[in-house]
Structure 1
Amino acid sequence: MGGRGGRYVPLVGRWGFLARNHALDAVTVLLTITSVLELMIGGDAPTAPEMSLGLEAVALVAMVLPLFVRRRFPFGAPAAYWLLAAAISLADGPLIPSVNSVFVLGMAAAFLLGNVRDPRKGRIGLVLVLACMVVVISNLPGHTISQLVFTPLPFAISWLAGSILQERVLQAEAAEDRAARAEKERDMVARVAVAEERARVARELHDIVAHAISVMVLQVGAVRHGLPAGMADQSDALRGVERVGRTALTEMRRLLAAMRPEGEAPELEPQPGLDNLNALIAEIGRAGLPASLEVRGERVPLPQTLDLFAYRIAQEGLTNVLKHAQAHQAALTLDYQPGALEIEVRDDGVGASASDGFGRGLVGVRERVKIYGGEMSAGPAGSGGFVLTARLPIGPDQP
């Protein structure tokens, strides 16, 4: 039974594809057959066509054939239908008006001309439909002025329906293109923001590493100067360490200069840490957002890099609330847990976004948490507002 069902699903899909893509072909064939039957049945009527039944059938089939290549010639195929209809009416005036099935096919051909993608061709198609219809009516014996005026109207309405549908399709495609371009632009700007943030993080890390190397060089120099005169070999070894350290420090400064954006002055102030949070809270308050700080657990000394990263995460979270959340207050919580430091920024606003529209919002937080192998979450709080949580590992297992 499973195998039978497996064959059934592709079969249904195949029939659905055929129905979507060849429904008009099937209807065209059916209407063509119907038109030939109409000619056979009404051959003795006073308004019957003048040509023989065989020539009439050949003429109708020749007129309908272009519709089967409409996918390859979206304008030429329905246009050929109408041109052939006008030409046939010149040879046999009553033929086209006497066959009701041809009326339906003419409506379909007019719809196809209105549905072409090129608006200029579409307008030409409307003129062609109306002109050919006037030719067909003019060749009908005993035609009236009202027939010349009102008979083309259904075909013009059919053309209008095709034109409206095509315009909707073009608008939908344009909207999709704009959305796709906007998505690409967001991705590109987000990548640039990530690169800039990584460069900023790298500059901060290099500052810390450069400071550490400076301290090491100074300590080695102090030890070397304190050695007795009889330890010349050890003094030379320490002098070599000093020389390598100073060279590394020089190269580090050059690297920092290369990473610094053009025109940006070097930062002379020391890097901030969690001890600066009270000043940050006060600064945020002066900017118009009352904020509070709560520290849970027992504070432990942190490595300088982790201390800096924790401060930057808190700073970015509060700044994000200030810019985007429309909040009345914010709360910053530091939770010292066994083996981890958890930082939470919560507000009572409408919900700050994880992005400011340019892909920058919480990029810095995400990059710093990733460097330290931590975890981050940001989103609407259950009680309203927005909450940012970052968990950084501390202790012997941290990166």
Structure 2
Amino acid sequence: MLRRLFGDWRPTVLDVLLSLAVGTAGLVESFGRQGSQPGQIGDPVPMAAGAVVAGTMLLLRRRFPVTLLLALIAVGLAVRAVSGGGYYAAWHFYSTLILVHTVASSTEPRSRRGFAGLACVLAAYAFVQTFQHNDVAELMIGAVFVGVAYGSGILLRRQMDQTLRLAERATRLEVEREARARRAVAEERARIARELHDIVSHNVSVMTLHTGGVRMRLGDEHARERDMLLGVEQAGREAVEELRLMLGVLRGTGAPGSGALQPGLDQLDELVTHVREAGLDVRLRIAGEPRPLPPGLGLSAYRVIQEALTNVLKHAHATGADVVITYGRTGLDVEITDDGTGGGPDGPGSDGHGFDGHGSDGHGSDGHGLIGMRERAAMHGGELSAGSVPGGGYGVVARFPLEAPVGVR
């Protein structure tokens, strides 16, 4: 029964402090002003009991504010009837103001509960005035205190509502941002898969053609080998067809086809030339001994450089950029740095280089260029880091692991 009535409600520290303050002040007032003179308390026990009851009720003020305000009026009437005096206790006035504030802060003023709460507030004010035979000024002073308590409660409720709305909006925006990020990752992975399809299809086609060529050059004395190669050739053609069907699923309805070979680091000079023609002084340097790379890895390294240079050109306000490709014994490092100052359209809090909002190669990364670059690096077991560099500018570093060349230990 009590659990159904109170639910998970618990009094706060403020509730306890207010309860102790009213109860203690009421006891001090009741016994401290005991006397038979006008303005003194003849029988302090009813006053003290009323103060204890009022203080206890304040523990429940946030759970039953309107009910407790009416109950406080009843306590005042009971104390007045028992004591038989016209003395109005300060603890009752303090408790009234606290509950008036709580009523206003816990109910919407324009709702039915709000109108009922306002009626109880007016009743409490009227009851307070019956204890005193005051002039108009005293009546106005009491009205000001009650009005301020009620108005501050309304302002508190509006502030709480606004805070809740802002919190809900922030939560909703965070959920939407995470959903966009997940969608961008999925789209980028599909795009990477489409590009790798072209590479795999080309290689399988070349293998199939070479197998067919070898089969045709074998004589009749190698009939068994010819049959085996024919099986390999047929399997290759079936694999190419399966890859073509898979690409149709990845591209989706209306997606453009490619069919062209994907670029690699051997086409990097052409990319640098295009960027230079656009107005950015790009300095390309290759360290270490270049060697053939797996097509997928070469494509990913190329796309990272392309993405980074495009964002530098669009958003970094840079005059120059350095591209350093380092062939190590067990890894390939790609580093792109610029001398820009940022201040792109991404606004405060972004990196100023557009990595939160721009694609690079006409495919459209839907606002997540940095996500795409990281996906490409992670696909090959590598890693990518991006951030400001000492002395100004911005840098992107991608590291791709490589197998050690044959003969190197």
* TM superposition score category, shorter chain reference: 0.7 to 0.9
1:260 aligns with 2:268: no
Is the Cα–Cα contact under 8 Å of residues 15 and 58 in structure 2 kept in the other structure?
no
1:355 aligns with 2:361: no
Gaps of 5+ in 1: 1-16
From 62, 66, 72, the equivalent of 2:63 is 72
1:41 aligns with 2:34: yes
Q: For 1:63-142, what aligned pairs fall within 5 Å after superposition? A: 65-73=56-64, 75-81=65-71, 83-84=73-74, 98-116=88-106, 118-120=108-110, 121=113, 125-126=117-118, 128-137=120-129, 139-140=130-131, 142=133
1:221 alignment partner in structure 2: 212
CA distances 1:32-79 after superposition (whole Å, capped 9, x unpaired): 4335436x714x2346689x7666566565555532322432x33453
CA RMSD of aligned residues (A): 3.2
Is the Cα–Cα contact under 8 Å of residues 346 and 385 in structure 1 kept in the other structure?
yes
Is the Cα–Cα contact under 8 Å of residues 199 and 261 in structure 2 kept in the other structure?
no
1:7 alignment partner in structure 2: none
Per-residue deviation at 1:125? 3.9
From 195, 198, 210, the equivalent of 1:207 is 198
Report the TM-score, using the length of structure 1 for normalisation: 0.82
Q: Distance in 2 between matches of 1:396 and 1:210?
A: 26
1:320 alignment partner in structure 2: 311
Is the Cα–Cα contact under 8 Å of residues 34 and 40 in structure 2 kept in the other structure?
no
Q: Compared with structure 1, are the counterparts of its residues 269 and 245 closer, same or farther at alpha carbon in structure 2 (3 Å cutoff)?
A: closer
Report the TM-score, using the length of structure 2 for normalisation: 0.80
Per-residue deviation at 1:377? 1.0
1:295 alignment partner in structure 2: 286
Per-residue deviation at 1:218? 0.8
1:373 aligns with 2:377: no
2:229 alignment partner in structure 1: 238
CA distances 1:177-223 after superposition (whole Å, capped 9, x unpaired): 22222221111111111111111111111221111111111111111
Q: Structure 1 residues 255-264 or 388-397, which shifts more?
A: 388-397
Per-residue deviation at 1:367? 0.9
Q: Which amino acid aligns with 2:313?
A: L
Q: Distance in 2 between matches of 1:95 and 1:108?
A: 24
Is the Cα–Cα contact under 8 Å of residues 346 and 387 in structure 1 kept in the other structure?
yes
Is the Cα–Cα contact under 8 Å of residues 292 and 330 in structure 1 kept in the other structure?
yes
Q: Distance in 1 between matches of 2:254 and 2:385?
A: 35
Gaps of 5+ in 2: 1-10, 343-351, 359-365
- Give the secondary-structure state (helix, strand or coil) at the position aligned to 2:221: coil
Is the Cα–Cα contact under 8 Å of residues 22 and 51 in structure 2 kept in the other structure?
no
Q: Which amino acid aligns with 2:106?
A: V
Number of equivalenced pairs: 377
- Give the secondary-structure state (helix, strand or coil) at the position aligned to 2:220: coil
Q: Distance in 2 between matches of 1:377 and 1:31?
A: 64
